[in-house]
Copies of this chain bind each other. A is one copy, B any other.
Amino acid sequence: MLDRKVKIKSIRDLGSRNYLLTLNAPEQARLIRPGQFVMLKCIENVREDPLLRRPFTIFDVPKSARSGKPVGLDLLIKEVGMGTRKLIQLRPGQALFCLGPQGHGFQVSSEMRNRVEIACLIAGGVGIAPLYLLAQSLLAQNVKPVLFYGGAAIADLVLRDYFERLGIDIIYSTEDGSFGERGVVTQPLAQFLKTHPRRDIRVYACGPWGMMKAVHALSAQNNLQCEVSLEARMGCSLGACLGCVVRCKDHEGEEQYLRVCQDGPVMNSRLIDWETAPL
C-alpha cells in the first residue's frame, strides 16, 4: 500500500454519468490484485471538501505498449455526489492523491484449475468495476466466466466491449428492456443455475445490496460458494477508524462487525448478515 500524488492521464465520458478515469500510477499498478481498490482524494487540494477520500475499484491496469509493464489504473466512476462530481471535473495533467492498492480481493488461485469449471459473474450497473480483472484471472486458471450484466437501461451497461473482447459468454439484462433480457439481473442467473445444476460453479457478484443479497440466496440454495464485493462509507481504508463495517456472523453465529476496507471489500457471502445493509 502506497500513498502517491498521481497525475490524471485521461477522463472518458461513457454516458449516463459514468466515466473512465485513467491515472498514471506505475508504482501502484504493479501491485494490484482483482477486487482491490484505491482511495482517491477527489480534488487536488488535500485540505478541501470533500475531506475524506473515496474508494474506487480498479477496473483495469493499462500496460505500457513498449515494455508491457503496468503503468496506470483505469477506474470506472459513476457520478453520484460531491466527491465523484469534483473528481470527474478534473482535467488531464492535474494531480490527486491515490492511496492503495487496498483491501482483500477475490480468491482466485491455481487450486481452482480443473476443480471449478464455471464462474458466474453478476454485475449490477457500476458493480461491473471489479469483474474485468476477475474475469481475466479466472481465464488464466482455465475457469470459464459467464457474465450476467444488468442495469436500469442500456446506457448503464458501460464498457461491454472490454468483456466482449475476452470472448466470454455474456447475458445482458435491463429493467426497461432496452437491451438484453427485460428484468433484473438475478432472473437470468436463476435460470442459468436451474439449467446448470452442477457443483463446479463459483459465483461472484458486485452491485446494489439487494442484488447481492438475492445472488447470495440463489447461491446458498444451489450450495455454491459466492463472493461479493461490498460497499460502505469509509473513513481511512486502513482498518483504523472502524467506520466501514458490515455486520457478519462468526462460526458460532455470534454477530461481529468486519471492516469492508481490510476484511473486504470481497467477502464470502455466507459471512454476511444480509438483514443489515451497511449503507
Chain B residues with CB under 8 Å of A49's CB are 48-49
Q: Return the CB mask of A24-51 against B: 1 if under 8 Å, else 0.
A: 0000000000000000000000001100
CA distance A48 to B48 in the complex (A): 9
- Copies of this chain: 2
Chain A: interface size category: under 10
CA distance A48 to B89 in the complex (A): 15
CA distance A49 to B48 in the complex (A): 8
User: At the interface, is chain A mostly helix, strand, loop or mixed?
Assistant: loop
Residue of B nearest to A82 (CB): B47
CA distance A49 to B51 in the complex (A): 12
CA distance A48 to B42 in the complex (A): 15
Q: How near does chain B come to A257, taking the closest CB pair, in angstroms?
A: 34
Q: How near does chain B come to A95, taking the closest CB pair, in angstroms?
A: 14
A21-77: which have CB < 8 Å to B?
Answer: 48-49
CA distance A49 to B49 in the complex (A): 8
Q: How near does chain B come to A120, taking the closest CB pair, in angstroms?
A: 44
Chain B residues with CB under 8 Å of A48's CB are 48-49
Q: How near does chain B come to A174, taking the closest CB pair, in angstroms?
A: 34
Q: How near does chain B come to A130, taking the closest CB pair, in angstroms?
A: 32
Residue of B nearest to A48 (CB): B49
Q: How near does chain B come to A88, taking the closest CB pair, in angstroms?
A: 15
Q: How near does chain B come to A129, taking the closest CB pair, in angstroms?
A: 28
CA distance A49 to B47 in the complex (A): 11
Q: Which 3 A-B pairs have the closest CB atoms?
A: A48-B49, A49-B49, A48-B48
In the assembled complex, 3 residue pairs joining A and B whose CB atoms fall closer than 8 Å, in A order, are A48-B48, A48-B49, A49-B49
